[in-house]
Amino acid sequence: MDRALPRQLWSLVKPRIVALLCVTGLFALLAAGGGPPSVVAGFVVAGALIAASSAALNCWYDRELDRHMERTADRPLPSGRLDHRVALAFALSLFVAGSAVGLATLPLVAGGYMWLGVAAYVGLYTVGLKRRHWTGVVLGGSAGSFPVLAGWTAVAPLSVEAVLMAALVFAWTPAHAWALAHVYRSDFAAAGVPTLPVVADEAVVRRAVWYAVWATLAVAALLVPFAGLLYAVTLAAAGGALLLGYRGFSRTGSEPDAVRAFFTSNLFLSTLFVAWGVGGLVSGAEPALAAVALVAVPALFVGLWNARPALRGVRAAPGHEWRPVVRALVDELPVVLREYVRDNDHRHPADNSNR
């Protein structure tokens, strides 16, 4: 066997995307109350395999397009180092294996949502819209919503809470994807992919991204009455960081600001899902955990911005405007925390856990 084959196949599954989808799905499962170890393990394995199959099918279908993009031209499929038939067989094998695990360990509805995620990413986005219209990323964002629904329904009936969190992923996707596309817009233009930063001028892109950020926060805020104190405090801290992370790009449209915005959006979504999931498991300890989040969440974003990660050799813009926001959080959020606990005790003197 070719020693390079495992590494080539691994590159097809887009591990970072799969990891993010597993995080959102797993913490949705935990937010619903958790489940037996067999269900949790089955969900993670099935979800990872099916998400990996979706990514591999995307790479297989886009192999000719990827030859025209500098960042993808050297990948195993477009470069010709990996036979496309091997890649297709690998992708389909992952899908079959993931489906088998899901059917053996999860309710059928949870597996169904996983399959809908594949249909949305491969069918709607990759095949249907990516090459045809700038709304591909917007509508294709539905693919990221289905792991949330799959995680929740793995252990509980579908609820408004789960639908809202799935809607959050949908709303979050455009600002996240357009920040990345802005950095790689020359690649997308060379490949003929009409993403928004390719077909619209910079001022339009900056406005659209900024509106998408606010839409994300609006949807995230709708979940506060359902998700509890830990989520609310995390949203306050992470939401402020999201605005700071995108503010530079909305004003300048520079690539370093776009890089900073992109990585900020990843951390924003991850922290919200962790807070949502943990809050669903340990509702009685939420005040203490919220106090921890009050310090930890801003620290995570400050650490990210100080690290200045890079895309295409472009390092994220530095920023010091977080300092007044951190001071405001430290000064104001403890007051909000105390008032929330007092009001919640008043409404539910016998039991604060009504989830």
Whole-angstrom distance, CA of residue 161 vs CA of residue 184: 35
Half-sphere exposure of 316 (CA within 13 A, CB side): 24
Q: Give the distance, in angstroms, between the CA of residue 236 and the centroid of all CA atoms in the same chain.
A: 18
Residue 228, sorted as left (phi over 0), alpha (psi -120 to 50) or beta, turns out to be: left
DSSP 226: H
All residue ranges of the chain with pLDDT < 70 are 1-2, 283-284, 319-355
Task: Determine the pLDDT at residue 67.
Answer: 86
pLDDT, tens digit (0-9, with 9 covering 90-100), for 212-271: 999 999 999 999 999 888 999 999 999 999 999 999 999 999 999 999 999 999 999 999
Q: 3-class SS at 13?
A: coil
Residue (of 131, 223, 119) closest to 172 by Cα position: 223
DSSP 121: I
**How is 1-61 classified by DSSP, letter by letter?**
--TTHHHHHHHHT-HHHHHHHHHHHHHHHHHTT---HHHHHHHHHHHHHHHHHHHHHHHHH
CATH topology of domain 1-158: Tetracycline Repressor; domain 2 (1.10.357)
Task: Determine the pLDDT at residue 354.
Answer: 42
Whole-angstrom distance, CA of residue 232 vs CA of residue 224: 6
Task: Determine the pLDDT at residue 240.
Answer: 92
Task: Determine the pLDDT at residue 164.
Answer: 95
Domain ranges of the chain: 1-158, 159-355
For tokens 């996240």, what's the residue? 176
